[in-house]
Amino acid sequence: MAENGDNPNTLAGMLQSRARGRRQKPAPKPSLPQLGFEFPVPPAKKPPEVRFAPIVLQEPIAAPKPAVLAPAEGRVWSVRSLVANIRQQVERGYTDLWVEGEISNLRPAPSGHLYFTLKDGEAQLPIVLFRRQAQLLRFRPKDGVQVKVRGKISIYESRGQLQLIAETLEELGAGAMQRAFEQLKAKLRAEGLFDLPKKPLPPFPQCVGIVTSATGAALQDIIHVVRRRHARLNLLVYPAVVQGPQCARTVARGIRWFNANAGRVDVIVIARGGGSIEDLAGFNDEQLARVIAASELPIVSAIGHEVDFTIADFVADLRAPTPSAAAELVTAAQHRIEERVQALSARVHRAGQYHLMHARQRLARLSADMVLRRVRDGIERREQRIDELRFRLAAASDRLLRNRAQRLNALEARLRRQDPTLRLADAQRRLARAGEALQRISTHMTVIRHARLARLEGRLHALSPLAVLSRGYALVYAEDGALLRSAAGAATGQTIRARLAQGSVRATITEIQNT
């Protein structure tokens, strides 16, 4: 993208042209004598397309050859000293480089440091972004975002892990838009759209047409400058959308409207405040650029800030760094322009002094005592170690809590099993089952005993003398009641009693037979 001094349609370009004119006599060029400065039209040159190429860490560009870590014969390295030596060699060899890739496994630490992995399709690299650099980022990093990382290669000694200590991050989305901008710029330059004759601004315009947002700060800035410098100048505003998909279409419509009503205005100003490259994308539209180039009225492009360049700036008749500066240009007050030139000269001088001071400070930091750098690096490594221990402590705490919860659940289950109420209910169930079993056993035993009693009763009945008597036998008793078992125990004439099955009889023995 061109700088202010490279574009002859900006005030900075005019200042440099006038400075060159003091050193050598310039050739005659188209000019505006009323404004007191020239508008040279240089030949168009297609700028080389700059593409970002990530540095391959295995073969760094212009990297010093690391020293060979060959110890003296017989020496044995400790792990720490070997890793520290390798870290020193790596840090000296890869002090400042850019790496492109995708963010993954982003872990913000409580200390404010950011840890993540930068990966592509074939490899990955751990990245550390310390708190002071993270606070300067213009976007919020997140997983899946394509970025460019600038920093130095180091080794985290505690794990012997290669890592990149980042200084800054840039999103790659803006880079894609920048490439599209450069491609369109090259196309229009090749067509000669930038080299068309620039229409001079009227020295004393009566009415200025402004294409901008009716509620934006850019319009208020223009009104403020006009009131302060040229109160009789009339302003005619065409409300337009200055950001988003409708921007180019509405701005082009405003330009066509003013050209269709050319008798009402003398010059057109396209104005918008500053913003990101995404915010200003509507002014990088090809159709809008062709409408600006085809305008019969002179157009001043006042889009963004001094460092913001759009396609509209290159095809417009004049580029103003800000909407306020555009108002100053169209009012054409010569003494104010001289003050503006002096102010820009002072700004260029201050910018040069600032860059010189910054370069000297950077040189001083690079030339300072390495002890301070080692102390800072040691502190950062220890902070990284603390972050790692915090992560491990958090993980261990989670595991301990899960184990304690499982133990508590097991104890609760055991306690529920030992609950007296549950045990009493279980005992009652077992007692009921035992009662039922006892009842069944008692009934069974009663049946068995009744059956046995019946059998014994039958046997007893079979053995009963009365049963024998019922078969026709009799029991014979002597007078004294003794049972006569043998005829030898009886005597003739003896009175006996015979017991029959039914009743008894008395008799007298008349004869005794021993056989």
Task: Work out whether strand 114-119 and strand 124-129 pair parallel, antiparallel, or are unpaired.
Answer: antiparallel
* Burial class of 326 by CB neighbour count within 10 A (0 to 12, 13 to 18, 19+): buried
In one-letter notation, the amino acid at residue 3 is E
pLDDT at 75: 80
Clarify whether residues 287 and 203 are in a common domain.
Answer: yes
**d(Cα 285, Cα 249) in Å, to the nearest integer?**
9
Clarify whether residues 270 and 169 are in a common domain.
Answer: no
In a domain, 328, yes or no: yes
Last residue of one domain, picked from the residues 346, 378, 404:
346
pLDDT at 369: 64
In one-letter notation, the amino acid at residue 500 is L
In a domain, 404, yes or no: no
Clarify whether residues 264 and 247 are in a common domain.
Answer: yes
CATH number at residue 85: 2.40.50.140
**Which residue, 272, 311, 273, is CA-closest to 292?**
311
Relative orientation angle of helices 247-260 and 286-293, to the nearest 10 degrees: 10
CATH number at residue 9: 3.40.50.2300
Task: Work out whether strand 37-38 and strand 114-119 pair parallel, antiparallel, or are unpaired.
Answer: unpaired
In a domain, 368, yes or no: no
pLDDT at 25: 39
Clarify whether residues 200 and 328 are in a common domain.
Answer: yes
Q: How is residue 199 annotated by DSSP? A: P
Two tokens at 83? 């890793």
DSSP, residue by residue, 1-67: ---GGG-TTSHHHHHHHHHHHHHSPPPP--EETTTTEE---PPP-PPPPP---PPPTTS-TTPPPPP
In a domain, 432, yes or no: yes
**d(Cα 453, Cα 437) in Å, to the nearest integer?**
24
- In the beta sheet, which residues pair with residue 166? 151
pLDDT at 509: 87
**Which residue, 39, 44, 49, is CA-closest to 319?**
39
Three-class SS of residue 416?
A: helix
Q: What is the mean pLDDT of each run of 10 residues along the chain (515 residues)?
A: 41 41 39 30 36 29 42 74 89 90 91 92 91 86 87 91 92 67 89 92 88 92 83 86 92 94 90 83 91 94 86 94 89 61 84 86 71 78 89 90 90 81 84 91 91 88 76 85 83 87 87 79
Two tokens at 186? 């090259």
In a domain, 369, yes or no: no
The b-or-e profile of 149-170 (16+ CB within 10 A means b, else e) is bebbbbbbbeeeebbbbbebbb
Last residue of one domain, picked from the residues 315, 346, 377:
346
pLDDT at 2: 38
Clarify whether residues 206 and 341 are in a common domain.
Answer: yes
pLDDT at 126: 95
For residue 165, the surrounding DSSP H or E stretch is strand 161-171
Residue given tokens 């009227």 in the structure block: 202
CA distances from residue 275 to 44, 134, 270, 281, 344 in whole angstroms, order as listed: 28, 22, 15, 10, 22
**d(Cα 208, Cα 357) in Å, to the nearest integer?**
43
- In the beta sheet, which residues pair with residue 384? none
- Domain hosting residue 69, numbered range: 45-191
Clarify whether residues 234 and 257 are in a common domain.
Answer: yes
pTM of the model: 0.37
In a domain, 433, yes or no: yes
CA distances from residue 184 to 95, 260, 287 in whole angstroms, order as listed: 36, 28, 11
**Which residue, 485, 495, 493, 490, is CA-closest to 513?**
490
What is the domain count for the chain? 4
Clarify whether residues 234 and 138 are in a common domain.
Answer: no
pLDDT at 338: 54
Clarify whether residues 142 and 171 are in a common domain.
Answer: yes
* Beta carbons of 121 and 92 less than 8 angstroms apart: no
Task: Work out whether strand 299-303 and strand 234-239 pair parallel, antiparallel, or are unpaired.
Answer: unpaired
In a domain, 398, yes or no: no
Q: How is residue 281 annotated by DSSP? A: G
Last residue of one domain, picked from the residues 284, 318, 346:
346
Clarify whether residues 154 and 249 are in a common domain.
Answer: no
Clarify whether residues 255 and 184 are in a common domain.
Answer: no
**Which residue, 168, 163, 114, is CA-closest to 143?**
114
In a domain, 337, yes or no: yes
CA distances from residue 41 to 30, 44, 198, 199, 313 in whole angstroms, order as listed: 8, 9, 8, 11, 14
Q: How is residue 102 annotated by DSSP? A: E
For residue 312, the surrounding DSSP H or E stretch is helix 311-315
**d(Cα 324, Cα 303) in Å, to the nearest integer?**
11
Clarify whether residues 97 and 169 are in a common domain.
Answer: yes
Clarify whether residues 209 and 78 are in a common domain.
Answer: no
Task: Work out whether strand 267-272 and strand 207-212 pair parallel, antiparallel, or are unpaired.
Answer: parallel
